[in-house]
DNA sequence: AGTTAAACCTGGTTGC
DNA sequence: TGCAACCAGGTTTAAC
């Protein structure tokens, strides 16, 4: 579920309660995609800084608290890089109940508990000494610019597309040219821009590239407004589901009429992912 | 460089 | 009702 809007909705829900919170304990459940890289006990005594987002990753800075640092392990600086995978969500619990079978990470602070629920366990929580240090730096290395970065312009976007010979849908999913779109929003943005998902990136004209960037931005912005998409698992930090899925024009609507021309929405598998599109409205 | 498949997991839905 | 097959928001790795 978690594409950029869902991750950002999550960030907005946890940033305020976490800012300045002191870590009292950390708990691991079943293994996630990657190991934490530190003993949970080593996190105790740290203070959480301002939570940020890069693509679909969240960064929770953890600073050593000088007044509380009593042991060598408490002198650490760094943070936790969190990814929600396919089915992850983070919840903020002033009073956390006993962990359920899919609760695989708890960061217990003096104010409340940040809890990762992730049935499929494709998510990850990784300790890193900084965003510019491994493993964080390695994981973020190939990410393209943020979709709302003003430095990403129609011109630079088009130039980046010109370098690639891969189908545009796959390229959007890769996050190498612009981050944030997953399967839902890639399909929706391409529909809105009237571009066929199989069109090879370097054959997209400058005006169409401009159209696509605008479509991606408006799709992501709209999803953000309504709390993201909830297909099954996703909820914000306070348990509220997203509503964007109800507004999707093509995603998950195989056989249903295209909202623009009423011809049936097609589904085809592209790079092992379902792609939904309208054959009439989206041209190569 | 590209595309493609397989891998990591669980659970819900569909079809026989 | 049971059971197998297929589907799902993501990403990495290996192989043609």
Task: State pLDDT tens for residues A41-65.
Answer: 999 999 999 999 999 999 999 998 6
Considering only residues 54-113 of chain A, list those whose CB is below 7 Å from strand C: 55-57, 83, 85-87
Q: Give residues lining strand B (CB < 7 Å).
A: A 30-31, 33, 87, 101-102, 119-122, 163-167, 170, 200, 232, 270-272
CA of A184: nearest nucleotide by C1' is: C9
Q: C-alpha angle with apex A239: A92 to A35, nearest 5 degrees?
A: 55
pLDDT exceeds 80 at position A273: yes
pTM for the whole structure: 0.95
Which of A96-110, A152-166, A200-214, A230-244 has the least mean pLDDT? Answer: A230-244
Q: Which residue is nearest to nucleotide B9 (CA to C1')?
A: A120
Give the residue numbers of A marked as catalytic.
2-3, 56, 273
User: What was the pLDDT predicted at A1?
Assistant: 56
Share of chain A above pLDDT 90, in %: 90
Number of H helices, E strands in chain A: 6, 11
* DSSP characters over A135-203: THHHHHTT----TT-TT--HHHHHHHHHT--SBHHHHHHHTSSS----HHHHHHHHHHHTB-TTSBGGG
pLDDT exceeds 70 at position A80: yes
Do residues A48 and A14 lie in contact, with contact meaning Cβ atoms separated by under 8 Å?
Answer: no
Which of A180-184, A229-233, A237-241, A250-254 has the least mean pLDDT? Answer: A229-233
User: What was the pLDDT predicted at A67?
Assistant: 56
- Residue A101's pLDDT band (boundaries 50, 70, 90)? very high
User: What was the pLDDT predicted at A51?
Assistant: 98
Average per-residue pLDDT in chain A?
94
Q: In which residue are the tokens 């590239």 written?
A: A209
User: What was the pLDDT predicted at A75?
Assistant: 56
Percentages of chain A per state (helix, strand, coil), in multiples of 5: 30, 25, 50
pLDDT exceeds 70 at position A71: no
User: What distance in Å separates the CA atoms of residue A164 and residue A188, rounded to the nearest whole number?
Assistant: 21
Do residues A275 and A187 lie in contact, with contact meaning Cβ atoms separated by under 8 Å?
Answer: yes
- Residue A68's pLDDT band (boundaries 50, 70, 90)? low
């Amino acid at each position: 579920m978690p594409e950029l809007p869902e991750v950002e909705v999550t960030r907005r829900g946890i940033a305020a309660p976490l800012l300045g919170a002191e870590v009292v304990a950390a708990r691991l459940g079943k293994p996630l995609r990657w190991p934490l890289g530190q003993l949970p006990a080593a996190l105790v005594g740290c203070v959480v800084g301002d939570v940020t987002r890069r693509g679909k990753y969240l960064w929770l800075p953890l600073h050593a608290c000088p007044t509380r640092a009593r042991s060598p392990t408490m002198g650490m600086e760094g943070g936790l890089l969190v990814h929600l995978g396919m089915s992850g969500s983070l919840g903020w619990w002033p009073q956390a109940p006993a962990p359920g079978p899919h609760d695989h990470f708890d960061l217990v602070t003096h104010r409340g508990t940040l809890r990762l629920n992730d049935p499929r366990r494709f998510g990850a929580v990784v300790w890193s000494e900084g965003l510019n240090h491994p493993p964080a730096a390695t994981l973020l290395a190939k990410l393209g610019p943020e979709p709302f970065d003003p430095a990403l312009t129609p011109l630079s976007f088009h130039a980046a597309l010109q370098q690639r010979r891969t189908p545009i849908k796959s390229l959007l999913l890769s996050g190498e040219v612009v981050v944030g779109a997953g399967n839902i929003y890639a399909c929706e943005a391409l529909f809105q821009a009237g571009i066929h998902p199989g069109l090879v990136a370097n054959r997209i004209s400058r005006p169409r590239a401009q159209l696509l960037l605008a479509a991606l931005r408006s799709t992501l912005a709209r999803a953000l407004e309504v709390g993201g998409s909830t297909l099954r698992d996703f909820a914000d930090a306070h348990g509220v589901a997203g509503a964007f899925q109800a507004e999707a024009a093509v995603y998950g609507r195989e056989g249903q009429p295209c909202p623009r021309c009423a011809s049936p929405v097609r589904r085809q598998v592209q790079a092992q992912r379902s792609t939904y599109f309208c054959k009439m409205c989206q041209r190569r």
